[in-house]
Structure 1
Amino acid sequence: MAIVINNMLLQLVRGTLGDQLTIYERNGQIIMAKKRGPSKKKPTKKQLEARYKMKIAAAYARTILQDPELKAYYKSLAGPGQNAYNMAVKDAFKSPEVQNIRLEATDVVVTAKDEFRVAEVDIHIIDAAGSLQERGKAVLGRNGVDWYYKAASLPPGGRIVAVAVDLAGNETSKELQLE
């Protein structure tokens, strides 16, 4: 790979030359590199999983960029050499994180984070027998990290399940055992 500096001949050239060289621009620099061909090795299981995940992420990014509001949101987070599509793919790759579930009287407070944005937090209250007693959506607090849900009742021996969902639809859940 070579970075081309002050060469008038290559300022306007992009693409593949003679099936041997590729010339492209990245972050304002012109780069010449040997043309890469497809690998001759059989992909591993992890590579196949990564390709599948990338396929899903790319499909999400293409779909989400049709919404002007979300496209503008992702574009606002893009750095140099990045665009809204890159940010949407990055968001689709990583799930949100439920860091903590705590009780404040009958309020369930869930601390959830995502590199981009947590879209919603669902709360499920399950009794000791395992049947669903209550379900609802938490409301985002002023700090932008804590989500609040007013529970009608908290059955002893039951559990609270918090499910955080990001813009890409990735879900992460965490449970809190009630005493």
Structure 2
Amino acid sequence: MELLENDLIEGSSGRFGKRLIYSQRGRKTVITRRSSRKRDPNSIRQQVVRETFAEGIIYARGVIADPELKSLYQAKVKDNQTAFNLAVSDFCKAPQITRVHVFDYTGQIGDKIIVRAVDDFKVVSVELKITDSADSLIEEGTAVLSPNGADWIYLATATNPVLAGTKILVSAADLPGNVTTQEVLL
């Protein structure tokens, strides 16, 4: 619950009684109920989430300490958000590969493979690795960001005489180093 123009608690934070917590979100004071802690041991999934969040905090501290990175994150903050919060969120979410367009790939030099990779902050690189049906490497390389800012374009640099069984492994990485991979079988 957001408080509107209350001079008594504006800018304050802390606990009121046993149930209410006052905190700051951007420039607003909000009240939340205190969470009830469970006495049960943590599940494996909870432990993984906590470890990821702790690593995200470490990453965010590094972002805030680096003026260049901080300004990148600060430029994308929204209402009631800070660069620190955005950096933690970015660390906790890997990029997604939403489309791999291979219809223009015929195994010839210069053929296009278009990859759509998205992230909550920024995808910094997309790598492709093309192997034949026996898993022998045909080629690998880095895709280039297209002018639309969402698609990555890879131009083939080697010929592939037999398309059947060809595997294209796509990897997308974001700023914190999260990597997502997807394999396409031709």
| TM-score interval (norm. to shorter) | 0.7 to 0.9
Counterparts of 2:114 and 2:182 in 1: how far apart (Å)? 12
Change beyond 3 A, Cα 1:50–1:141? same
The equivalent of 2:84 in structure 1 is 85
Matched residue count: 176
Unaligned 5+ residue runs, structure 2?
106-110
Change beyond 3 A, Cα 1:51–1:155? farther
The equivalent of 2:159 in structure 1 is 153
3-state SS of 1:174 partner: strand
Q: Deviations over 1:141-178 (max 9, x none)?
A: 11111111111223523211111111111111112223
Contact 1:160 1:176 in 2 (8 A): yes
Shift of 1:4: 8.6
Change beyond 3 A, Cα 1:154–1:12? closer
The equivalent of 1:175 in structure 2 is 183
Instruction: Indicate the percent of aligned positions where both proteins have the same amino acid.
Output: 34
The equivalent of 1:97 in structure 2 is 96
Shift of 1:124: 0.2
Contact 1:127 1:155 in 2 (8 A): no
Letter paired with 2:166 = G
Counterparts of 2:2 and 2:119 in 1: how far apart (Å)? 38
For residues 1-179 of structure 1, what are the structure 2 equivalents within 5 Å? 6=6, 8=8, 10=9, 14-15=13-14, 23-26=22-25, 27-29=27-29, 31=31, 39-103=38-102, 104-105=104-105, 106-151=111-156, 152-156=158-162, 157-178=165-186
Counterparts of 2:142 and 2:2 in 1: how far apart (Å)? 54
Contact 2:22 2:29 in 1 (8 A): no
Aligned-residue CA RMSD (Å): 2.9
Considering fraction of residues, name the structure with more strand: 1
Contact 2:74 2:82 in 1 (8 A): yes
TM value normalised by structure 2: 0.78
Letter paired with 1:96 = P
TM value normalised by structure 1: 0.81
Counterparts of 1:6 and 1:131 in 2: how far apart (Å)? 68
Counterparts of 2:101 and 2:19 in 1: how far apart (Å)? 61
Unaligned 5+ residue runs, structure 1?
none
Contact 1:163 1:172 in 2 (8 A): yes
3-state SS of 1:77 partner: coil
